[in-house]
Structure 1
Amino acid sequence: MNISEKKLIIAIDGHSSCGKSTVAKDLAKKINYIYIDSGAMYRVITLFAMRNNLVKNEKVDENKLSHLIDQVSISFKYNDRKQGHETYLNNALVEDEIRSLEVSDNVSLIAKIRFVREKMVAFQRELSKDGGVIMDGRDIGTVVFPDADLKIFMTADVEVRAIRRYKELKDKGDTVSLEEIRENVKKRDYIDENRDESPLRKAEDAIVLNNSKLSKEEQLDWIIAKMNEVVK
């Protein structure tokens, strides 16, 4: 590893359940960068909307949400025992709740709302103003940081992503079937790619990383090599 002291902004976009957050977190820890989980932010808004009965029959009461969204405070705190950052909604820990299948089923509905995205993008840019940041999501390289120093578009086969997500939820004790997860992955892909507001797409200058057959270590080595190319 031979990375310059220059503090880069690294944008990692890609499909759901392809391991963006895991790789971004591991990379941030390895090179001492700040990790910002943009997906967690949208999950927090989704959880807030669900708690306030604003999501019904795959529709969001956008009018009510627009009046309530300023009540949402999102923060990340480092857990020494777990050696990772956890997500808080109005100072209450919600890390496990926002990773549930129910939230996953609704997060794409929330993420496509313009005023939600505008609020989250402003927050993300403020957190990243000093550089040395790794952020993952759906529109980081295309909307949030169009001038990012390094843009990566991650993907993996649908079946690979479904199995990874299934194992993750099963380890947490959730009783969901692989078929449910597979359909959720396909559904989120469709919504993310076809929404009107900031659809998921690869930035023209992004480098594709298909990690269907790569280990975490191989992915980290690949990204670090690309970082070294950028700072030469």
Structure 2
Amino acid sequence: MNRRMVIAVDGPAGSGKSTVCREAALELGIKYIDSGAVYRALTWYLLKVCPDMAACGEFPEKIKDLIIIQRFTPDGGSRTFVNGEDVSEEIRTERITGSIGVVSDDTGVRNFVNTLLREWSREESVIMDGRDIGSVVFPDADLKVYLDASVDERARRRISEYEEKGKTVDGNAIRNQIIRRDREDESRPFGRLVKNPDALYLDTSAMARKQVVDWLVNAVLNAMETR
């Protein structure tokens, strides 16, 4: 890729953004930034220093001196470090998932993360996924994409992920969680999930992962040719 590009990929939880972006970045030879992992890392740290979130005080004051780094692996993935400690596995636990909402809804936290994401993207081309990448973090991104999928398909994918790990889950509960998460993400006070009018839209419900990756790679290559 001859010139720096920022590719912003947004979409609801479970739409396959992270997997698709990682694989597309690997094929294109550019960096993938996992914005969700940054919020998870901050949640991990805050729970570590302040287990009672309600009594934690101002989040931005506690995280202002943190050093968060993402190191990228040959397979297109990434590892997340907080003050030199690899927390990549710990940030994927149910405890983090259950607490991340209160952290990511904090305006000061989102400003901290957005500044960090912009710094990471300053020198080279990146693909970054989230819920407000194209609307807030990079409103002038070279390419904006919105990946979507039906609630039923996203529930099926989530159930499959659990089954691959040997876990049995309640399908109806997973579906209801996704519906609730959509409602929350679309009504958050800051950084809510929106479909940008200038974003390319793709419903991935009936598509295989490789088809979506190929579509995204082609969209990036087409954007390169027209800019």
TM-score by length of 2: 0.89
> For 2:56 and 2:108, how far apart are their aligned partners in 1?
9
The residue correspondences of 1:95-114 to structure 2 (distance < 5 A) are 95-114=88-107
Which residue does the alignment assign to 2:217?
224
Provide the C-alpha distance between the structure 2 equivalents of 1:174 and 1:93, rounded to a whole number of angstroms.
25
In the alignment, is the contact (CA less than 8 A) between 2:143 and 2:199 conserved in 1?
yes
The match for 1:73 is 67
> Do 2:22 and 2:76's aligned partners in 1 also have CA atoms closer than 8 Å?
no
Listed one character per residue, the Cα deviations across residues 197-224 of structure 1 (whole Å, up to 9, x for unaligned) are 1211011201111111111211122122
Q: Give the equivalent residue in structure 1 for 2:111.
A: 118
- The answer on whether the counterparts of 1:154 and 1:209 sit within 8 Å (CA) in structure 2 is yes
Name the counterpart of 2:3.
Answer: 6
CA distance in 1, matches of 2:12, 2:170: 20
Runs of 4+ in structure 1 off by over 6 angstroms are none
**One-letter identity of the residue aligned with 1:30:** E
Per-residue displacement from partner, 1:15-72 (whole Å, max 9, x unpaired)? 01111010110011001011100011111112223332143xxxx5562423311253
Question: AA paired with 1:76?
Answer: Q
Which one of the candidate residues 1, 5, 28 is aligned to 2:25?
Answer: 28
Matching of residues 57-206 of structure 1 within 5 Å: 60-61=54-55, 63-79=57-73, 84-174=77-167, 176-206=169-199
- Match of 1:87, SS state, is strand
- Using the size of structure 1 for normalisation, the TM-score is 0.87
Partner of 2:14: 17
Tell me which amino acid in the other structure corresponds to 2:101.
S
- Deviations along 1:90-136, whole A, 9 cap, x unmatched? 32222222222332233232211100000000000000012411000
State the Cα RMSD in Å.
2.1
CA distance in structure 1 between the aligned counterparts of 2:10 and 2:136, rounded to whole angstroms: 11
Alignment partners' CA distance in 2, 1:204 and 1:62 = 38
Distance 1:213 1:62 in 2: 44
Stretches of structure 2 that go unaligned for 5 or more consecutive residues are none
Matches of 1:189 and 1:45 in 2, distance apart?
A: 22
The answer to whether the 8 Å contact 2:39/2:103 transfers is yes
Between the two proteins, the alignment pairs up a number of residues equal to 224
Once residues 27 and 187 of structure 1 are traced to their aligned partners in structure 2, the CA distance between those partners, rounded to angstroms, is: 29
C-alpha distance in 2 between matches for 1:43 and 1:53: 15
Q: Report the residue type matching 1:121 in the other structure.
A: N
- Aligned with residue 41 of structure 1, among 33, 38, 43: 38
